[in-house]
Chain A
Amino acid sequence: MIEVKGVSRIYYDTLGLPTEALLNVSLEILQGEFLSLIGPSGCGKTTLLRLIAGLDLPQVGELLIEGRAIEKPSYERGYVFQQAALFPWKTVEENIAIGLKARHIYKEKKDLVPEYIRLVGLDGFSKSYPHELSGGMMQRVAIARALINEPKILLLDEPLGALDAFTRIELQNTIRRIRSETGTTIVLVTHDVDEAIYLSDRIAIMTARPGRINEIINVEIGSERDRNQDAFIKLRRRVLEKLHLAGEIYTNVRGAGEAI
């Protein structure tokens, strides 16, 4: 379990003016759940994810993972960036093997590499270099690279944000499949309402200036999800209302995800 207790994080711009990226945020993330953080730009969702990863530290409050404070990044908390951040000088399989090499367990566990290449559906591309891959394939590599360490929790920072609509839906299905196969706890930062509803157990809605969690919605529409089922549409409307975007979106509900 991850506990976020009364966390604040303030950034200062070049003029020294403060921005309250996060103000007194509290949250519990349960073992094995899929939680989405959703909200407008500047609401601190990425900041919160970076704090959980240990890439950044809070000025106030504490973050605990199984009762111990998060002080620095660890392979137990895998992180996938919006831009895949693959190493261009390494092939697909070398990129995926970085975690094993960094932890000096590559020799014993190198059989895992083809396994994870298969898990993300990249068979036949193991010797390719990143510049030969499409955006969606790069994100698949980035996800496999994080998963090979068998992290307790996978942190996804808008990993599908830069992809086209078709690739995004394809990868959403891959993420669902991976989750059911590995059972990893996943926290997803997104600004796509449909994506959040389609994938999550719970959705934390955040607001900006100061960044805080406004409400947490349980997604109780079963595990067989269809973007056109009634419960899905109702939930979408509820989330949009919480984001104060409902009025603008009603006329074009199907484009809601893109419009935000």
Chain B
Amino acid sequence: MSSEINTNKKYWKPQSKGWFAAAILSFVVAVEVDALVPNVQAVNTLYYRIILAAFVAVLLILWTAPGIASKFRSKLYHYSQFITAAGLTLTVLDLLTTKSDILKLPFFPGPAQVIEALFTERNMLFICTVHSLRLFFAGLACGVIFGVVTGVMIGWNRQWNYWLYPVLQVVGVIPPVAWIPIALIIFPTSFYAGIFLLVLTSWFSIAFMVANGIVSTPKEYFEVSRTLGASERFLLFHVAIPHAVPSIFTGIATSAGTCFMMLVIIEMIGAKAGLGWYINWAKAWASYDKVYASIVIMGVAFCIILGVINVFRNYFLRWQKGILRS
């Protein structure tokens, strides 16, 4: 139960083994409540219990394993309080739903039932997730390509700026949702319609960011390059575009959020597959446990997507202050 003086800025919570013990204990309580308190609702809690037990096992291994790097350990201790709260929240939810039926079905399924839905529906959910991710990445990738190209043209060349910038301003402010009826009629499949809509969602904000990044390049960078023998081409590819790279990543990160939202809307309205479609379908059968299961997958998937974008961003922007060594 020793608490050392903590100088770590990123993992600033108490570096104590006590809180880590509490984290383990809270999940043990969750398992015990599930095992000992009889169910009121008709739910198979086996999967829920397996998951909780597995999590306890992982925490126990981390507790005892000798070879864990100290950096990871401080991270673990930092999140101990949060893990404790998570375990207690699951216990309370379990007691309010499965164990007592205070929160009524079908709208408020307990954690055990949502986990059960994740397992029993795993094939369907897997196919839907693959469909969603395929559409998401295809759409976002096209949007990024178009966005970067038009952004560079608008920021660099005044002719392109003259012709494209007004179009960007007008089309950019139209909510992409408004195009859904048109897109669904014009394109042969809902997949292509989806790509079109995601491109519309991401294109303009990325183009706008990139154009700003190009235009805001300090004049000295161009002047110094010209005194070093640089051609116009060199100024574009070695000065202006590298200067716009941080803006490109800001554009991609923000568009990823709006694209994910757009993706679910498209799937709910027009598609025959994907997580958004699955939610609609489950809702029609009043299987709200499946709706929650789908929502859980969305949350996890989007966190992973943002994480991947961040990895690329940290690699390309390793020259920026404070990103490399934190």
Contacts and interface: CB of A to CB of B under 8 A. Distances in A.
A118 B273 CA distance: 63
B109 to A, nearest CB: 50
A50 to B, nearest CB: 9
Contacts of B245: 89
Contacts of B238: 98, 101-102
B223 A79 contact: yes
A98 B227 contact: no
B321 A131 contact: yes
B3 interface: no
Given A81-B220, A87-B221, A129 B319 contact: yes
Interface string B209-226: 000000000101101111
Contacts of B221: 85, 87
Interface residues of A, number: 31
Contacts of B234: 101-102
B270 interface: no
A81 B319 contact: no
B230 interface: yes
A75 B224 CA distance: 10
B224 A81 contact: yes
A88 interface: yes
A74 interface: yes
Contacts of B228: 75, 78, 98-99, 102, 145-146, 149
Contacts of B321: 131
Interface string A124-144: 000001110000000000100
A74 B218 contact: no
A79 B224 contact: yes
Contacts of B172: none
Given A83-B220, A98-B238, A102-B234, A88 B227 contact: no
A155 B226 CA distance: 14
A74 to B, nearest CB: 7
Contact of B229 (A74, A142, A155): A74
A89 B213 CA distance: 14
A73 B223 contact: yes
B320 A77 contact: no
Nearest to A129: B319
A121 to B, nearest CB: 21
Interface string A89-120: 11100000011011100000000000000000
B64 interface: no
B176 interface: no
Chain B: interface size category: 20 to 34
A87 B229 CA distance: 16
A88 B225 CA distance: 14
B227 A89 contact: no
Contacts of A155: 227
A72 interface: yes
A98 B320 CA distance: 19
Nearest to B317: A89
A55 interface: yes
Contacts of B220: 81, 83, 85
A53 interface: yes
Contacts of B253: none
A75 B229 contact: yes
Interface string B234-245: 100011001101
Nearest to B322: A131
Given A73-B223, A81-B220, A87-B239, A102 B319 contact: no
Given A85-B218, A87-B221, A131-B320, A73 B226 contact: yes
Interface in B309-326: 318-321
A19 to B, nearest CB: 19
A72 B226 contact: yes
B242 to A, nearest CB: 5
Interface string B276-318: 0000000000000000000000000000000000000000001
B319 A90 contact: yes
A103 B229 contact: yes
A157 B308 CA distance: 44
Contacts of A146: 227-228
B2 interface: no
B227 A53 contact: yes
Nearest to B242: A89
Interface in A13-36: none
B226 A149 contact: no
Nearest to A91: B319
Given A79-B227, A89-B243, A155-B227, 17 more contacts: A55-B226, A74-B227, A75-B229, A78-B227, A79-B223, A81-B224, A85-B218, A85-B223, A85-B224, A87-B239, A88-B319, A89-B245, A91-B319, A98-B238, A101-B234, A129-B318, A149-B229
13 contacts: A72-B226, A75-B228, A77-B227, A81-B224, A83-B220, A85-B220, A87-B242, A88-B319, A98-B225, A98-B228, A101-B234, A130-B319, A149-B229
Shortest beta-carbon contacts, A-B, top 10: A75-B229, A102-B230, A85-B220, A73-B226, A79-B227, A99-B228, A131-B321, A103-B229, A89-B319, A102-B229
Interface of B: 218, 220-221, 223-231, 234, 238-239, 242-243, 245, 318-321
